[in-house]
Amino acid sequence: MTRTISLGLRGALWLVMSACIWGAFFYAWSDPAFVGQSSRILFFHVPMAWTSFVAFFAAAVWAGRYLWGGRQMRHDRAAATAVECGVLFGVLATITGSLWARIEWGAYWNWDPRQTSIVVVLLFYGAYLALRSAMADREVRARISSVYALIALVVTPFFYFIVPRITESLHPEPVLNAERTLDVDPRMFQVLLASALAYTVLFFWLHNLRARSQALIDALEDDPS
């Protein structure tokens, strides 16, 4: 029964993601304010950036649950896995962003505040993964890396809200902010929303698979027989 449901969910995700890819190229409108068809990358770039944000936030929540929710290893595994997925989506968002920047701004990289922010955020979580690999004891590793994942809640808001305001940014306004939603073409908005939803579900699926395999690895290390 659960097998059927899970197969159905995976099938639905496949259908929605395929529909998003088709919709991004054939259904949605291309914004003439940008060079050529370059605005279509929005349907992939924005959901990737959004998913990495969701993943990092989920990692902090799981880290907090580890520290104050009875120190259960599964919460630490969930936090670490969420960071791994978040880094994956963050790197993809950076790559798609710089491809777009090459077309629109003329250079792959020009230290726009958004680019600075994503690099520092990725460095932060790269450091998290380095920190984990530097500790052999599982309890110590879980405790120390959970603290580091929670420090992100203090530091990253400065990059989301403050650094972009000190220096001028050329990055387009976030599409989903209050006043711009009225401006956005409804078809563009539908595809973007569906795509963001699909990527979020994809993240939770990847996360689930990876956390389960990590649980098996841990169990095998404890009891190799």
Partner 1 sequence: MPSPASNWLASARAVFTKDWRCELRSRYALNAIGLFAVTTLVVTSAALGPAGTNSSLAINVLPAMLWLILLFAAAAGLPRSFVHEEESHTAIALRLAAPPSTLFVGKLAFGVSLLLGIEALVAPLYLGVMSLEVASPGLLVIALVAGGYGLAAGSVLIAALASQARGRSTLFSVLAFPVLMPLLLLAIELTRNAVAGDAAGPALPQLLLYDASVTIAGLMLFPAVWNP
Note the residues at the interface with partner 1 (CB under 8 A).
67, 120-121, 123-124, 126-127, 130-131, 134-136, 139-140, 143-144, 146-148, 150-151, 153-155, 158-159, 162-163, 165-166
Name the residue nearer to partner 1 (CB basis): 39 or 156. Answer: 156
CA angle 93, 98, 99 (to 5 degrees): 100
**Any residues with CB less than 8 A from the CB of 141 and at least 6 apart, and which?**
76, 132, 135
**Least distance CB 146 / partner 1 (angstroms):** 7
| Residue number, 9 or 155, with CB nearest to partner 1 | 155
Helix (H, G, I), strand (E, B) or coil at 11: helix
Residue 104 phi/psi, 5° resolution?
-85, -40
**Amino acid occupying residue 214:** Q
44 vs 125, which CB is nearer to partner 1?
125
Q: Rounded to the nearest whole angstrom, what is the least distance from the CB of residue 42 to partner 1 in the complex?
A: 27
Q: What spatial distance separates the first Cα and last Cα of the chain, rounded to whole Å? A: 31
Q: Which one, 115 or 195, has the nearer CB to partner 1?
A: 115
Give least dist CB 142 to partner 1, A.
10
